[in-house]
Amino acid sequence: MKELRKKPVETPIIAVTGGKGGTGKSTVAVNLAAGLSARGLKVMLVDVDVDGPSCATLLGVRLEGGEEVKTFVPKIEASKCTGCRRCVEICPEHALVGLQGQVPKLFEELCSGCKACQLVCEPKAIENGWKKIGNIYTHRTNGLGLIVGELRPTEPRSPVMARATVMKALEELKTHKYDVAILDTAPGVHNAVAQPLWVADLALAVTEPTPLGTHDLNFILDLARELGLPAEVVLNKADIPGGLREEALRLARERGVEVVAEIPLDTELLRSYMAGEPLVKVNPASPAGRALGALIQKIESRLKGGEV
Amino acid sequence: MKEIVVASGKGGVGKTTVASSLAVYLAKNGKRVYTADVDVDAPDLLLALGGGKETLFSMEVQASKKAKVDQEKCVGCWRCVEICPFGAMLKSPSGKAAVATLMCEGCGVCKLVCPADAITVEKAETGRITIERTKYGFECVTGKLKLGEHNSGLLVSHIRNLARRKAQDAGCKAVIVDAAPGIGCPVIASVTGADYVIAVTEPTPAAKRNFERLSRVVKHFQVPAGVVINMAGYSKDFESALRKWAVGELGFQFLGEVPVDREVVKALVQMKPIIDFNPEAEASKALLEIAKRVESEVL
């Protein structure tokens, strides 16, 4: 699959990911974006965790006026339908149900929007209907662009929403000049995580030194390898009392990935998290602030050297 | 028998800690219990219970399909590339269409539009389901999704069905299900038809926002639900407001608060539920109260 990945835009794209939930992906993404932006780079931050987006909250930004994302659902014109059941038979999600001679009934929540039904309908009875699966918000502040994809609750198609968010970001990157894009992904290693990783140049895998953190880190490193995507590790909560720092470092070494930052536990980080302000902005001298600052510097110099 | 699902909008707020403690409390109090981990991307419940002592069952699940292009037959017309709704059909360097299998949802529209009959859609391995016996005596069904696979909703349903059947056969009083973070397909597949949802959240604005999103899913599927506020203690005002809002506005039952406690991490590292690792810890006392409340009000 690696050989199919092509760089979609010139702008370097960094995906912040990590396998397990709650390891600090959004914290790293938001601080990295704010820090690079403060250093004069034009940064676009994209929240692709469409199930549970947090970037706007962590930046203290109120999202307004998003554009709706809609996907296809079949709209069956009853007068044209011959009740042949071709659409019922072809539907891979079994979203269409009906007996011979009847107009099929649609179970909208099952429909993936693939249009197979429309393609096989001989009397052309299936028209384009649309259902709203979420919103994409675009927000620009000085030097920092923010795009947030948000799945509509009760809607199951996270991968489709994630893809729409990535596409929106690429479109923005093609029409506006940015120095770097940072994509914050969902936890896990499923399709909605693969969508942003597919377009990325570098994955930062944020993990924590616990058995669960390292267990799940392995999965995300596997996914990155599968995609031929260079990955590096950010060890968050590195000095957690009783934690497995040494083991996490050993795992990274064994997997041949660099640990680019170790972020210590820091109540200042929690305070900034609660306040909706990036730590590197409000308290860069705190222990976690310094660790994040070092990461930002490292990434900045690599961006300037064209090494991402 | 009651099926209780532990869920959260945001990841890393303590689902597995709550689920493992509840299961161990019930087992130690003579209630037959069954457990299931449906976070098929990051299945951690078994680890939190000290790992499997004995593998009782293991099977591969083929729930998804993947498109495949016959390179000989492909004429390079790109119709499949244009129509694929998931961006999985791509132009390969050889001038033929190729499938990025990680993103293929197996819908088969590519096959429908191919004029050269070059595309087939074949069954693929979705994941694996395993049943392990834990050192606490009860069993745990775990599923693991193959990398980048999409049909996790189906795998979740398989695991839940298996767990319910096994639990029924063994005369269990409860099935405790540890769900994935988020609100998408796997979470919907986890909460629909359950008897009760325990939503775990933490007193931060980001977690609150994603708890609210989860509440809309739970409400839509009409599952009775309670909330646990984990990692409490750093902002009393925020916590009491969160609690009032969860009960008053969202209609959740309040199950309790678990304080921030360093013992929780030590327990995780030792791969033991905190209530077993250190029953005297503040977090253990709170989790015990929560488990008792769930026992008396749900079971």
Average pLDDT over residues B240-260: 97
CATH of segment(s) A72-130: 3.30.70.20
CB contact A276 to B (< 8 Å): yes
Full-model pTM: 0.95
CA A276 to chain centre: 20
Take residue B152 and report the two structure tokens written for it.
Answer: 């996790």
Alpha-carbon gap, residue B62 to A213, rounded angstroms: 28
Residue B103 DSSP label: G
Residue B73 backbone dihedrals phi, psi, to 5 degrees: -85, -25
Torsion of CA B148, B48, B177, B26, to 10 degrees: 170
Closest chain B CA to residue A111: B107
List the single residue in A151, A191, A267 with the smallest CB-CB distance to B183: A151
List the single residue in B109, B150, B206 with the smallest CB-CB distance to A114: B109
Which residues in chain A have Cβ-Cβ distances shorter than 8 Å to B93?
Answer: 3
Alpha-carbon gap, residue B248 to A133, rounded angstroms: 28
User: Of all residues in chain B, what percent carry a pLDDT higher than 90?
Assistant: 87
Is the pLDDT assigned to residue B151 strictly greater than 80? no
Residue B259 backbone dihedrals phi, psi, to 5 degrees: -75, 155
Tens of pLDDT, residues A34-46: 999 999 999 999 9
CB contact B97 to A (< 8 Å): no
Those residues whose C-beta lies under 8 Å from the C-beta of residue B237, and which sit 6 or more positions away, are none
Which residue(s) pair with B99 in the sheet?
Answer: B89
- CATH architecture of the domain B2-62+126-297 equals 3-Layer(aba) Sandwich (3.40)
- Nearest one of B60, B37, B39 to B132, comparing CA atoms: B37
Closest chain A CA to residue B222: A154
- Nearest one of B74, B97, B76, B101 to B86, comparing CA atoms: B101
User: Which region holds residue A138: left if phi is over 0, alpha if psi is between -120 and 50, else beta?
Assistant: beta
* pLDDT-derived band at B149, boundaries 50, 70, 90: confident
Cβ of A153 within 8 Å of Cβ of B265? The answer is no
**CATH entry, B64-124, from 1.10.10.10, 3.30.70.20, 3.60.15.10, 3.40.47.10:** 3.30.70.20
Q: Residue B148 has what pLDDT? A: 66
Take residue B168 and report the two structure tokens written for it.
Answer: 């029924």
Q: Residue B237 has what pLDDT? A: 94
Is the pLDDT assigned to residue B30 strictly greater than 90? yes
The angle formed by the CA atoms of residues B269, B275 and B276, to the nearest 5 degrees, is 70
List the single residue in A1, A51, A113 with the smallest CB-CB distance to B85: A113
Alpha-carbon gap, residue B27 to B34, rounded angstroms: 9
Which sequence spans correspond to the domains of chain A? 2-62+133-304, 72-130
Q: Residue B152 has what pLDDT? A: 82
CB A208 within 8 A of CB A20: yes
Which residues in chain B have Cβ-Cβ distances shorter than 8 Å to A193?
Answer: 148
Q: ipTM strictly over 0.90?
A: yes
The angle formed by the CA atoms of residues A212, A214 and A216, to the nearest 5 degrees, is 70
CB A90 within 8 A of CB A103: no
What count of CB pairs under 8 Å joins A to B?
215
Q: Residue A83 has what pLDDT? A: 97
Tokens 């809607």 belong to residue: A155
The DSSP secondary structure of chain A, one letter per residue, reads -GGG----SSS-EEEEE-SSTTSSHHHHHHHHHHHHHHTT--EEEEE---SS--HHHHHTPPP-SPEEEEEEEEEE-TTT-----HHHHH-TT--EE--TTSPPEE-GGG-----HHHHH-TT--EEEEEEEEEEEEEEEETTEEEEEEEEPTT---HHHHHHHHHHHHHHHHHHS--SEEEEEPPSSSSHHHHHHHHH-SEEEEEE-SSHHHHHHHHHHHHHHHHTT--EEEEETTTT-TT--HHHHHHHHHHHT--EEEE----HHHHHHHHHTS-HHHH-TTSHHHHHHHHHHHHHHHHHHTT--
User: Which region holds residue A221: left if phi is over 0, alpha if psi is between -120 and 50, else beta?
Assistant: alpha
The size of chain A, in residues, is: 308
Is the pLDDT assigned to residue B85 strictly greater than 90? no
Cβ of A274 within 8 Å of Cβ of B271? The answer is no
Which sequence spans correspond to the domains of chain B? 2-62+126-297, 64-124
Per-10-residue mean pLDDT, chain A, length 308: 88 96 97 97 98 97 94 96 96 93 93 93 97 95 90 93 96 96 96 94 97 94 95 97 94 97 96 96 98 98 93
Alpha-carbon gap, residue B36 to B46, rounded angstroms: 9
Which residues in chain B have Cβ-Cβ distances shorter than 8 Å to A268?
Answer: none
> What's the CATH superfamily of A2-62+133-304?
P-loop containing nucleotide triphosphate hydrolases (3.40.50.300)
Scan residues 158-197 of A and list those with Cβ closer than 8 Å to B. Answer: 158-160, 163, 186-195
Which residue(s) pair with B6 in the sheet?
Answer: B178, B198
Take residue A280 and report the two structure tokens written for it.
Answer: 């590197």
Average pLDDT over residues B93-102: 92
Tokens 């839940």 belong to residue: B160
CB contact A228 to B (< 8 Å): no
Which residues in chain A have Cβ-Cβ distances shorter than 8 Å to B147?
Answer: 189, 219, 222-223, 226
List the single residue in B180, B213, B265 with the smallest CB-CB distance to A241: B265
Please tell me whether residue B66 adopts helix, strand or coil conformation.
strand
Alpha-carbon gap, residue B245 to A147, rounded angstroms: 29
Alpha-carbon gap, residue B32 to B171, rounded angstroms: 7
Q: Residue A93 has what pLDDT? A: 87
Please tell me whether residue B37 adopts helix, strand or coil conformation.
strand
Paired sense of beta strands B64-69 and A144-151, if any:
unpaired
Paired sense of beta strands A96-97 and B2-8, if any:
unpaired
Helix (H) or strand (E) holding B274: helix B274-277
Tens of pLDDT, residues A74-93: 999 999 999 999 999 999 88
User: End-to-end CA distance of chain B, in Å?
Assistant: 8
Average pLDDT over residues B15-35: 97
The size of chain B, in residues, is: 299
Alpha-carbon gap, residue A155 to A113, rounded angstroms: 13
